[in-house]
Amino acid sequence: MANIELSEQEIIRRESLAKLRELGINPYPAPLYPVNSTAKGIASEYDPEKGNCQDVCIAGRIMSRRIMGAASFGEIQDSTGRIQIYVKRDEICPGEDKTMYNTVWKKLLDIGDIIGIKGFAFITQTGQLSVHAKEITVLSKSLRVLPIVKTDADGKVYDGFSDPELRYRQRYVDLIVNPQVRDVFVQRAKIIATMREYFNEAGCLEVETPILQSIPGGATARPFITHHNALDIDLYMRIANELYLKRLIVGGYDGVYEFAKDFRNEGMDKTHNPEFTCMEIYVAYKDYIWMMEFVEKMLEKIALTLHGTTKVMIGENEIDFKAGYRRLPMLQAIKEYAGVDIAGMDVDQLRETCKKLNVEIEPSMGEGKLIDAIFGAYCEEHLIEPTFITDYPVAMSPLTKRHRSDPTLTERFELFVCGKELCNAYSELNDPIDQLERFEEQAALKSHGDDEAMFIDFDFVRALEYGMPPTSGLGMGIDRLTMFMTGQTTIQDVLFFPQMRPEKML
């Protein structure tokens, strides 16, 4: 192991560790400790008149200490919150040996150490709920100094652990000293649980599909490539699970869904991480109109579960997720916000239009990406309230059924909130001949330099040739949904461990 330069405090803590061992105290004992109470549990259950909570065993991290001779106050933090502890020398050291108090508690333990406390709950003369310690057990010695977040008289935080670089790299520290961060991930778990309950009640089955794939299908994105040594073949990390889930619809399931880890070898910013969580659901005998209503009711349910109201603050905007969102066809949105009618334009006309509109484009872009560039530059920023953008041109939607009333369009929608896409849904293409032609068009784009264009998945076409019922499918990014529902502004704040450049370690 490389030599690591230690700070003065880290040296002192290692010396304390050695002294604990010299005293016969194991600073990292066996994991079994008979916890029967939590900070939150004691706060909610203790009743001075009943005299309950008189045999509590709690464990947590020391967050503060005030030593006053033969008696001390401290504060420990467990997974539910903080609670004050009262430590009296003659209580934890009833005999002549006062080592546990005078040496261990006062000198060898530090902020950040994890200890166990056995004792009873009481209210101090100042009205503070506390645990009167009868016994202290060292459970884990902390060798690094915690950043101590301070608050002023008005409760405003200063000297906090707030640097994003440090917070994301050392999420374990972030979770210790910034309890509100933990709340975000509790809410994330509730979002997923609510969605799972909603899908199960709709009769859908949760399934799992491959992460390593021979063909990266289901989306237009650049994949990560790896190599399987035993088979001596390259494999791709999943960019989407769509084509596998639709194979299951072919196989006879009426509704399947999956919370999937997907991977896309693309740029990183406040709303994109190369590894992300996407939920996809496919329901037989439904269309994209049905799916819009399904999504509205789901988001309304999530908002109510998390906040007790359908209204959620996202940045400076109060967004109402109550069902009944605006529905706006894509070409109409471009006409409304960009002031041009692109219906019927070919590739050359679209390129010329992009130039007139000062929209940045690349030579490899085909019809679909040119339309998307115009839409992104002129429309997205206006879509603040939940808005379904519907009826995309065929060139933008290689896996989508053609529109029942206009074959140049598809039955597709994306939901936008605060100018960002939240989900993508189709009436799924189930015509195998049409699907193969769309794949071939994608292959042509790839041959002209579009490295995000789709591969031809002949096995998926074969599956469709056996017959897939009319189906509606939906993909929704869980990370972005969590951002919206918890009021976070960056995807890094809803991922425990976001991707970052490797840290240079000594």
Q: Spell out the domain ranges in the chain.
A: 8-146, 180-494
What would the two tokens of residue 37 be? 């109470």
Non-local (6+) Cβ contacts of 488 within 8 A are 184, 482, 494
Say which CATH topology domain 8-146 has: OB fold (Dihydrolipoamide Acetyltransferase, E2P) (2.40.50)
Transcribe 153-175 into DSSP letters. Answer: TT--EES-S--HHHHHHTHHHHH
Question: Pairing mode, if any, of strands 255-263 and 205-206?
Answer: parallel
Q: What is the predicted pLDDT for the residue at 2?
A: 53
CA trace torsion 209, 211, 214, 216 (10° rounding): 90
Q: What is the predicted pLDDT for the residue at 1?
A: 45
Q: How far apart are CA 311 and CA 314, in angstroms?
A: 10
Q: At what angle do helices 288-307 and 179-201 cross, to 10 degrees?
A: 140
Only one residue has tokens 């399904």, namely 294
Question: Pairing mode, if any, of strands 387-390 and 412-417?
Answer: antiparallel
CA neighbours closer than 13 Å in the CB half-sphere of residue 406: 14
Non-local (6+) Cβ contacts of 184 within 8 A are 482, 486, 488, 493, 494
Taking the CA atoms of 160, 165, 167 and 173 in sequence, report the sign of the dihedral they define. Answer: negative
Transcribe 416-466 into DSSP letters. Answer: EETTEEEEEEEEB---HHHHHHHHHHHHHHHHTT-TTSPPP-HHHHHHHHT
Q: What amino acid occupies position 52?
A: N
368 phi, psi to nearest 5 deg: -60, -45
Longest dimension (CA), the chain: 94
Only one residue has tokens 């988001």, namely 299
Q: What is the predicted pLDDT for the residue at 5?
A: 85
Q: Are 84 and 129 in contact (CB under 8 A)?
A: yes
What would the two tokens of residue 85 be? 């502890």
Q: What amino acid occupies position 268?
A: M
Q: What is the predicted pLDDT for the residue at 455?
A: 86
Q: What is the predicted pLDDT for the residue at 153?
A: 65
Non-local (6+) Cβ contacts of 154 within 8 A are none
pLDDT one digit per residue (tens) for the chain, 506 residues? 456 789 999 999 999 999 999 999 999 999 899 999 999 999 999 999 998 999 999 999 999 999 989 999 999 999 999 999 999 999 999 999 999 999 999 999 999 999 999 999 999 999 999 999 999 999 999 999 999 777 666 666 666 788 999 999 999 999 999 989 999 999 999 999 999 999 999 999 999 999 999 999 888 889 999 999 999 999 999 999 999 999 999 999 999 999 999 999 988 898 899 999 999 999 999 999 999 999 999 999 999 999 999 999 998 999 999 999 999 999 999 999 999 999 999 999 999 999 999 999 998 899 999 999 999 999 999 999 999 999 999 999 888 999 999 999 999 999 999 999 999 999 999 999 999 998 898 888 888 888 778 889 999 999 999 999 999 999 999 999 999 999 999 999 999 999 998 887 65
What would the two tokens of residue 425 be? 């849904």
Q: What is the predicted pLDDT for the residue at 181?
A: 95
Q: What is the predicted pLDDT for the residue at 347?
A: 94
Report in angstroms the alpha-carbon separations of 335 from 332, 379, 454.
Answer: 5, 9, 29
Nearest partner of 146 among 173, 168, 115, 181, judged by Cα: 173
What CATH number was assigned to the domain covering residues 180-494? 3.30.930.10
Q: How far apart are CA 326 and CA 321, in angstroms?
A: 11
CA trace torsion 208, 209, 212, 214 (10° rounding): 170
Q: What is the predicted pLDDT for the residue at 3?
A: 62
Per DSSP (E only), the strands in 321-419 are 326-329, 387-390, 412-417
**Structure letter (DSSP) for residue 490:** S
Q: What amino acid occupies position 416?
A: F
Q: How far apart are CA 270 and CA 247, in angstroms?
A: 34
Asked, colleague to colleague, whether 8-146 and 180-494 share their fold, the answer is: no
